Amino acid sequence: MEIRLPKLGEGAESGTVVSLFVKEGDIIQKDQTILELENEKAIAPIPSPEAGTITKVYVKVGDKISVGQAILSLSGIGTAPAAPAAPATEAPKAAPAQETQAAPRREVPGIPLPASPSVRKVANELGIDLTQLRGSEHGGRIVMADLRAYVERLQRLTLQPREAAPEIKKAVSESVDFSKWGSITRKPLSSLRQKIGEKMVESWTTIPHVTQFDEAELAALMALRKKYASKYEKKGANLTLTSFILKAVVAALKKYPIVNSSLDEKTHELIFKDYYHLGVAVDTEQGLIVPVIRDVDKKKMLELSLELAQLAEKTRQRKVSLEDLKGGTFTVSNLGGIGGGHFTPIINKPEAAILGVGRGKNNMLPLALSYDHRVVDGADGARFIRAVAEALENFKEKDVKI
């Protein structure tokens, strides 16, 4: 007997398989959840209408299936031994990354949701919709152990990288015939631009971003820069604002080492780095490239200014090596030379944060810190960006002297 996808509800004719709980050879019960299906409305558990032994599974995680499509084949219909259905809190091991979806499920006939008042009270206090759970007790009754397992699963999933959803990939790959509305010109996307796009999508979809804004008052720093600019020029260096920013960032990173860390998503460990290798976003004709200046904390302002200019030029000429682009602990993206104020930079994974710098006006410099909220709390994010601003506002003349 073939089990087919039942009607999903008004206006819902298809969906994407986000979890598959069975395999060939499994013995299943009537009303046991066999998969979870996501469409534009919600995530719904799909139960088996019959008991039996699975002889064939026709779908896999990521497949888009429609109402009436075959899901699996059963033999020995109605002869499966009586046994409680496996709790849904244990089943989704096949594809945990997709389970970060928290949309309420539609209730499906045959899947009761009974629970004691104490379970309902705890679920209500935690803001958990019990329709998200499948009870492990007789008749699908939800007990405290089911609720605890569900919460633990959510905690694990928050530390796991999130894969791009199949629906997103498909939407990106679809072409629109814009020539229907007027004249167009097509230009191939460069491989670098494609890589930049892939990196940005990965960072944005796998890291929970928070952006903190602040400003630094630069009157004293600009006077200091003006005083020493000519002396640096005689040494072949340009004393830019970026050099000051890099030094200010290092000072703040030393005060708040959590911002200089990275999250190991496989081991769920924080990696604290005892070095300060800062990436500097460079605008090139091919796209944004981020070379890394190593050991910024150990370099004098003159050495740092010389290296910054040389590395930026190498980057624009596409002469930087792959090694020049690796090993960064924090990134600075300074758009002040182009214009604009605050903006929300995207974190350069696997770093924990990035500083965006806008164009200064009336000696006020706009700063924007985007950070990984799995790693950095809001309070530390606010303290860090304030520490950067204070380091710029109180820059020591002894650190600029040649």
How far, in Å, CA of 380 to CA of 256, rounded?
8
Q: Are residues 221 and 104 in the same domain?
A: no
* Whether residue 345 sits in one domain with residue 216: yes
Q: Same structural domain for residues 133 and 228?
A: no
What CATH number does residue 216 fall under? 3.30.559.10
251 and 380 share a domain? yes
Closest CA to 273 of 290, 256, 288: 256
Query: Within a domain: residue 178?
Result: no
Examine the fold and report which residue of 138, 158, 178 is the final residue of a domain before the chain moves on.
158
How many domains are there within the chain? 2
Task: Classify residue 227: in a domain, yes or no.
Answer: yes
Same domain, 132 and 198: no
Distance from the first to the final alpha carbon of the chain: 84
Please tell me the distance from the alpha carbon of residue 73 to that of residue 91, in angstroms, as a whole number.
Answer: 20
- 279: enclosing H helix or E strand: strand 278-280
Residue 187 resides in a domain: no
Catalytic residue, from 209, 268, 342, 373: name it: 373
Print pLDDT tens along the chain (402 aa).
899 998 876 556 788 887 888 899 989 988 888 888 775 445 677 888 999 999 999 999 888 898 899 999 998 876 555 444 444 433 333 333 333 333 333 744 434 357 777 777 777 767 787 777 777 776 677 888 787 778 777 766 665 554 444 444 444 567 888 899 999 998 887 767 787 888 889 999 999 999 999 999 999 999 999 999 999 999 999 999 999 999 999 999 999 999 999 999 999 999 999 999 999 999 888 778 899 999 999 999 999 999 999 999 988 887 887 788 899 999 999 998 888 889 999 999 999 999 999 999 999 999 999 999 999 999 999 999 999 999 999 999 999 998
Quickly list H helices, 283-338: 301-316
Structure tokens at 304: 């740092």
Distances (CA, A) of 209 to 205, 313, 345, 378: 9, 31, 9, 11
Quote the domain boundaries for residue 297. 193-399
The structure tokens listed for 133 are: 């759970």
Does residue 188 belong to any structural domain of this protein?
no
- 163 found inside a domain: no
The DSSP letter of residue 13 is -
Q: What is the pLDDT of residue 341?
A: 87
Same domain, 363 and 234: yes
- Burial of 209: CB neighbours in 10 Å, binned 0-12, 13-18, 19+: middle
Residue 306 pLDDT: 97
Statement to judge: residues 128 and 236 lie in one domain: no
**Residue 35 burial (10 A CB sphere; 0-12, 13-18, 19+):** buried
Q: What is the pLDDT of residue 297?
A: 97
CATH number of the domain that 65 lies in?
A: 2.40.50.100
> What is the C-alpha to C-alpha distance for residues 266 and 206, in angstroms, rounded to an integer?
13
327 in the same domain as 199: yes
Instruction: Tell me: do 151 and 212 sit in the same domain.
Output: no
Is 198 found in the same domain as 63?
no
Among the three residues 158, 184, 217, which one is the final residue of a domain in this structure?
158
**Do the Cβ atoms of 50 and 29 come closer than 8 Å?**
no
Q: Hey, how many other C-beta atoms are within 10 angstroms of the C-beta on 299?
A: 20
- Residue 190 is predicted with a pLDDT of 73
Among candidate residues 158, 183, 217, the one where a domain is terminated: 158
Distance CA 216, CA 386 (A): 8
Residues 232 and 311 both lie in one domain: yes
373 included as an active-site residue:
yes
Amino acid 312: pLDDT = 92
- Asked if 141 and 221 sit in the same domain, the reply is no
In angstroms, the Cα distances linking 8 to 66, 94, 297, 312 are 9, 23, 60, 56
- Residue 186 forms part of a structural domain: no
